[in-house]
Structure 1
Amino acid sequence: MNLPASGRRVLVSGASRGLGRAVAQAFAANGDRVAVHFGSRADEARATLGSLEGAGHVLIGRDLSDPVGAAAVVDSAAEALGGVDVLVNNAAVNVRHPLAETPYEEWVAVWQRHVAVNLLATANLSHLAARRMIDQGGGGRIVNIGSRGAFRGEPDHPAYGATKAAVHALGQSLAVSLAPHGIGVASVAPGFFATERVASRLTGPDGPAILAQSPFHRIATASEIAAAVLWLASPEAEWSSGAVLDLNGASHLRT
């Protein structure tokens, strides 16, 4: 399949800030055109759009927990960019809900929200984007943002850990089914990395323990994770389809 190394049409979900912004910036710097999706942070998403190198990028705002919204996102991206070659499933929710402290009604609502956004939206976007890639006939790439927590457990965020484990499994299933169409599917499983959302934890009393999780005694930058996503979406990465790439600075080693 003739997947180009640059000039691709890329959809990044949840790209208003943090890792999504870094991923969008990495693809734009590579010479690709990017559809920047956001759910509710319109101002931050516009800042992401304004930070991208090159031209032809587009902003798309919809709620991915609604299947109709997910379809509108892919349709809008394909219309604005002229198709979709790469999908990065980054949008996710992560709400603290330890079982012993969380009332049942809240527990149910939190799980439903995590499943709707982290898993079902990822599945729906993957279906919609992959069908477009198949129709285009040039192959493509899907890269899912998973988590180290899928392997080591998330006691304060169990729905997050469980849905990210499901995202890894989904990616491996799709890697097998979509390979005949020249579409590679892989996932990354980051550990702790710096974003606006976790800045207060790093400067607070938990900061030293977080840094000590890795023998490098630091956490990753969002650009380090984005660089791995960019490579997994490259033509050279086809043989990594089905992989779940650990990006945690040796803070958790799988056997």
Structure 2
Amino acid sequence: MNLPANGRRVLISGASRGLGRALAQAFAENGDRVAVHYGSREEDARATLASLAGDGHVLVGGDLSDPAGAADVAERAAAVAGGLGGLDVLVNNAAVNLPHPLADTSYEDWADLWQRHVAVNLLATANLSHLAARRMIDQGTGGRIVNIGSRGAFRGEPDHPAYGATKAAVHALGQSLAVSLAPYGIAVASVAPGFFETERVAHRLSGDEGAAIRAQSPFGRAGTAEEIAAAVLWLASPVAEWASGTVLDLNGASHLRT
């Protein structure tokens, strides 16, 4: 299977800001063409699109929590007219992470928030993976799928249990797909980041909370979106095929698995 090192067609879900923007920029700087997906933040997504090096990038909005919406996003991203003309790489980055500690959350809110996390974090990832992989199989040139998981899948998330549970499921999904898609030259891997700085969580890095977050790592700092993006770019590269099935910890030694 001949997967090029650059010039690939890359769909990144949830790419309007934060890690999604850093991912889009890393692939664009590598010479790839990127479909920037957004759910509701169109203005932010357009800012991401405008920031990308090179040309041929496209903007694709849509609700991934709806299976029909996911199919529409994949179709428009891969379209010959107005899209990328196919898909070589999928990065499943879209996610929700809303607090719902059990002791402080009503049953109605608890059930609603679990459904939202499952719909976006897990089912949208599964559906986009199917849609992208089928295109890669039909193209006959192999491909890459990289999932954004979380350190919380391993250490627990007491205030965000649905987030931790769905990210653990994303890791398991990636390993299942790594086995089933290998005969088609499609490698599947996941990353499990710890806390990393984006504009959405920058306020947490001040004062005592910020000091506690930085103290989680022996490096005494938080991670960066660019560090996560660099690892994803490598996992999506032709030379990373043998890493298929891996879950790569990116947490500055703040949580060590045995």
TM-score, with structure 1 as normaliser:
1.00
Could you list the structure 1 runs, at least 4 aligned residues long, displaced by more than 6 angstroms after superposition.
Answer: none
Give the Å deviation of 1:204: 3.9
Map 1:102-181 to 2 at 5 A.
102-181=105-184
**Residue correspondence of structure 1 range 70-85 to structure 2 within 5 A:** 70-79=70-79, 80-85=83-88
What's the CA shift for 1:203?
Answer: 1.5
Deviations 1:71-115 (A, max 9, x none): 011100101101000000000000000000000000000000000
C-alpha deviation, 1:197, in angstroms:
1.1
Unpaired stretches in structure 2, ≥5 consecutive residues: none
Residue in structure 1 matched with residue 67 of structure 2 by the alignment: 67
Residue of structure 2 equivalent to 1:10:
10
Task: Determine the structure 2 residue equivalent to 1:99.
Answer: 102
Indicate the residue corresponding to 1:56 in structure 2: 56
Q: Structure 1: which amino acid aligns with 2:91? A: V
User: Aligned partners of 2:151 and 2:223: how far apart in 1?
Assistant: 13
Indicate yes or no: 2:36 matched with 1:36: yes
**1:139 CA displacement:** 0.0
The one-letter code sitting in structure 1 at the alignment partner of 2:61 is G
2:232 maps to amino acid: V
| Structure 2 residue identity aligned to 1:58 | V
Q: Secondary structure of the equivalent of 1:185? A: strand
Query: C-alpha distance in 2, partners of 1:152/1:160?
Result: 12
Write the distance in 2 (CA, Å) between the matches of 1:204 and 1:217.
15
- 1:96–1:204: structure 2 CA closer, same or farther, 3 Å change rule? farther
- 2:46 is aligned to 46
2-side partners of 1:107 and 1:197: how far apart? 23
> Deviations along 1:229-251, whole A, 9 cap, x unmatched?
00000000000000000000000
2:232 pairs with 1:253: no
Q: What CA distance in whole angstroms lies between the structure 2 residues aligned with 1:73 and 1:121?
A: 11
* 2:218 is the alignment partner of 1:215: yes
SS in 2 for 1:246: strand
TM-score for the superposition, normalised by structure 2: 0.98
What is the alpha-carbon root mean square deviation over aligned residues? 0.4
Matched, 1:199 2:202: yes
Distance in 2 (alpha carbons) for counterparts of 1:105 and 1:146: 27
Give the equivalent residue in structure 2 for 1:183: 186
Aligned residue type for 1:155 = P
- One-letter amino acid matched to 1:7: G
Q: Give the SS at the match of 1:40.
A: coil
Using the alignment, how far apart are the partners of 2:182 and 2:207 within structure 1? 46
CA distance in 2: counterparts of 1:157 and 1:196, whole angstroms: 20
Aligned-partner residue type, residue 39 of structure 1: G
